[in-house]
Amino acid sequence: MLFLLLILLGAGGVLASGIGLYVICHHLLTADIPAGISHPLKLRILHCGFLLLITWGKVLETLKICSLPRFARFMQDLMPLKQDPDVVVTDLRFGSNPVKLYQQKTSSLTPRTGIIFYHGGGMVMGSLKTYNNLCCQLCKASDSVVLSAGYRKLPEHRFPAAEVDCFASTVHFLKSLKDYGVDPARVVLCGESLGGSLAALICQKLVERQDLPKIRAQILICAVMQGLNFQLPSYEQNKNVPMLTLSFASYCFSHYTDINPAWEPVVLKGGHLPTESWEKYRKWLDQENIPQRFKQRGYRPVSHMPLNETAYLEAGLFLEKQPFPLIAEDEVVTRVPEACLVTCEYDILRDDLLLYKKRLEDLGVPVTWHHMEDGFHGVLSILNFSCLHFPCTTRIINLIVHFIKGL
């Protein structure tokens, strides 16, 4: 028995060493650390940790021990939370949906601004706990009541589970603003990455609701705004930049939409849509809508590949549900509240928000835009890692707080 245990321990050690070596080699061979990133060593450390998490998740998934998404979130949530002595954090449930409520300990004579925050992670990673420090900072710095909305995730739940859950929690909160000391005229929806997409979608859905307080503004940070055109400049320029590579983005997209991952090469080259669809969406998705200065860094325009009928049959069913904020009709987008948009130069999703910015401005919706020249995807999700601080993280938070205070 002891001998068998020693063999198992030895095999485990060899496996762990092998995975660690693979991760380091994979990072060195594939990762693109742009010269414009401040603290490149920190980004390398973060990316190696991310790759280690994903690789172990794939191993455990292959062995049918645990799915990759469940393992990744479990490991993320092991990080200890930093308690803020000035903020009261309450875990609640709105129906079956988990939420966290952040309120300052000091009372206020007047109702406060309300912020509904939707976290990112592509349905694979991220949780209420992951963004705890960010919500504490927003609550304290902007003198607001913050509601962080949780939602169902992979592997059991796909589109539209996240949108359904977040919309339900948002409606519940909007109907209960007085209970939480929130001013109904100052409610802001805020989201990062997939959470930014959820914030934009919910703003669009709420324009029809006459029974609820009007949303004052939306804050979209490095947000997913479309899943049709993967040949925009930022997708080519930043495909190997941590923390969101094109490979991992494709994994999240295919699982979130329940489109067979085997169609990834076709989808990335635009072969999942017919010519008439590209013509319909051209006015919103064409790379010509991207300012020229964002095309200078290693980008060559390419044409979409011919239609793959089989891929279209699968992807078309999903696209009929209009799951992306960028392709909503004009009569909807023109009625959404003013927006604060934050883009990062080294983010694969940069051009998604640049396209949405143009749509909003063309339709007369007020837009405040901030671009982080040294930013990359996920800079707000690493606040729990105090030793791996990046200057652009603080700048983004300060800009958001300034925008909220100016409403």
Closest CA to 153 of 86, 68, 84: 68
Q: Which of 127, 142, 193, 197 is catalytic?
A: 193
Alpha-carbon distance of 217 to 244, in angstroms, equals 27
Quick check: is 193 catalytic? yes
Chain-centroid distance, C-alpha 210: 29
The residues that bridge with 218 in the sheet, in sequence order, are: 189, 339
Chain-centroid distance, C-alpha 187: 21
Alpha-carbon distance of 205 to 333, in angstroms, equals 10
Quick check: is 347 catalytic? yes
Closest CA to 389 of 127, 140, 82: 82
Amino acid symbol at 21: L
Contact by Cβ (8 Å): 324, 280: no
DSSP letters spanning 88-137 = EEEEEEETTEEEEEEEESS--SSPEEEEEEE--STTTS--TTTTHHHHHH
Quick check: is 377 catalytic? yes
Contact by Cβ (8 Å): 294, 194: no
Q: Which of 47, 119, 272, 377 is catalytic?
A: 377
The angle subtended at Cα 294 by Cα 289 and Cα 296, nearest 5°, is 120
Q: Which of 347, 351, 352, 381 is catalytic?
A: 347
Burial class, 388, CB count within 10 angstroms (exposed 0-12 / middle 13-18 / buried 19+): middle
The angle subtended at Cα 72 by Cα 70 and Cα 78, nearest 5°, is 100
Expressed in angstroms, the distance from the first to the final Cα of the chain is: 68
Alpha-carbon distance of 9 to 22, in angstroms, equals 20
Determine the number of helices (DSSP H) and then strands (DSSP E) in the chain. 14, 8
DSSP letters spanning 187-253 = EEEEEETHHHHHHHHHHHHHTT-SSSPPP-EEEEES----SS---SHHHHHTTT-SSS-HHHHHHHH
Alpha-carbon distance of 327 to 280, in angstroms, equals 10
Alpha-carbon distance of 249 to 242, in angstroms, equals 11
Active site residues: 193, 347, 377
